[in-house]
Amino acid sequence: MTDASPKTDRHPILFFDGECALCSRTVRWLLKRDRRAILRFAPLGGKTHSALGGPGASEGGSTLILVRDGEVFLRSAGVVRMLWSIGGVWALLGGLLWLIPLPLRDAGYRFVAARRYRWFGRADACPMPSDDTRARILD
């Protein structure tokens, strides 16, 4: 990984559960679709997460956390902003999700999150990032 600055003003940081296979697959999916290389990625509880004061730590590692411009977005709000960040048709999908009331979106998020290990398993190991993506993966 890299010693890139944890500043979030230019590049939102997506904090994810590195042991969760669904989360790891999501990061790989985003790396392929974020053609402008906007997003940065870091594991929950890692150095970058600690350097920013552990945003969302009260969630106990059970949620996706997106930090953008000093704001912390949890659960479905993070997913929507993540989609908005990568742009294109995905931003449109994020806009459609935004139309769903937050309590319903978060209920769906929590439903999947509570079953993610059972349905998708645990990640055995993180694949080595390519040279193109290495700078986007933070400690």
* For the chain, domain boundaries: 13-123
Cβ 15 vs Cβ 47: under 8 Å: no
Q: What are the tens digits of pLDDT across the range 46-96? A: 898 888 888 777 666 678 899 998 899 999 999 999 999 999 999 999 999
- Strand ranges of the sheet holding 40-43, from the earlier edge strand across to the other edge: 40-43, 13-16, 65-68, 71-74
pLDDT tens digits along 90-137 = 999 999 999 999 999 999 999 999 999 999 888 776 555 666 777 787
**Of 34, 33, 2, 57, residue with least CA distance to 15:** 57
Which pLDDT band, with edges at 50, 70 and 90, does 5 fall under? very low
Identify which of 73, 92, 70, 71 has the alpha carbon closest to the alpha carbon of residue 83.
92
- Burial pattern 40-71, b for ≥16 Cβ within 10 A else e, equals bbbbbebebbeebeebbeeeebebbbbbbeee
- Rounded to whole angstroms, the Cα distance separating 13 from 48 reads 9
Single-letter amino acid code for the residue at 70: G
